């Protein structure tokens, strides 16, 4: 089966949340899920609040990312997790 590229947006609970620690926990969860993290961006939202945007590659056979989203949502400091883009990788 093909590989898919997933973009996940993680919103922290507050501007004071340590994004580097949150990134490490989320990256670890993605690796355990079977994904391979390619890129991590920090996106300014408003009033000092910043979101993590993590782009990762995973097998299409895995199907849904619901269980991964639920796991990351359970990490301390996470307000919400949304998959904002899914594309089939070419090549």
CATH number, span 3-88 = 3.30.70.60
* Mean per-residue pLDDT, 54-58: 97
Look at residue 91 in the predicted model and tell me its pLDDT.
67
Is residue 89's pLDDT more than 90? no
Is residue 22 pLDDT above 90, yes or no? yes
From the list 25, 70, 71, the residue with the least C-alpha distance to 52 is 25
* pTM of the predicted protein model: 0.92
Rounded Cα distance, 2 and 4, in Å:
7
Q: Are the C-beta atoms of residues 65 and 83 closer than 8 Å to each other?
A: yes
């Amino acid at each position: 089966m093909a590989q898919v590229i997933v973009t996940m947006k993680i919103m922290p609970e507050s501007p004071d949340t340590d994004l580097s620690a949150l990134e490490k926990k989320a990256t670890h969860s993605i690796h355990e899920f079977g994904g391979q993290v390619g890129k991590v961006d920090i996106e300014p939202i408003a009033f000092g609040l910043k979101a993590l945007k993590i782009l990762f590659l995973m097998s299409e056979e895995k199907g849904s990312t619901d269980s991964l989203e639920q796991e990351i949502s359970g990490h301390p400091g996470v307000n919400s997790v949304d998959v904002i883009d899914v594309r089939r990788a070419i090549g």
